[in-house]
Amino acid sequence: MLRVTEIFRSIQGESTHAGRPCTFVRLTGCPMRCVWCDSEYTFTGGEHVPLESVLNQVRAFGCKLVEITGGEPLAQDEAFDLIERLCSEDFEVLIETGGFVSTAKVDPRARIILDVKCPASGEATRNHWPNLERLRAGKDEVKFVIANFEDWTYAIEIIQRYELEEKTLAILISPAWDAVDLQDLAGWVSESGLNLRLQLQLHKYIWGPEVHGV
Q: How far apart are CA 6 and CA 119, in angstroms?
A: 29
Site string for ligand SF4, 33-62 (x = CB under 6 A): xx--x-x-----------------------
Residue 8 Cα distances to 58, 61, 113, angstroms:
8, 8, 19
Identify the DSSP state of 176.
P
CB of 194 or CB of 200, closer to ligand SF4: 200
Q: Do 145 and 115 contact (CB within 8 A), yes or no?
A: yes
**x-or-dash pattern for ligand SF4, window 78-117, by CB under 6 A?**
--------------------x-------------------
* Gap between the Cα atoms of 150 and 169, Å rounded: 25
State yes or no: residue 13 binds ligand SF4 (CB under 6 A).
no
> Which of the ranges 57-65, 69-77, 176-184, 202-210 carries the binding residues for ligand SF4, by CB under 6 A?
69-77
Helices 182-191 and 149-161: crossing angle, nearest 10°? 30
* Residue whose C-beta lies closest to ligand SF4: 98
Q: By the criterion CB under 6 A, which residues form the site for ligand SF4?
A: 30, 32-34, 37, 39, 70-72, 98
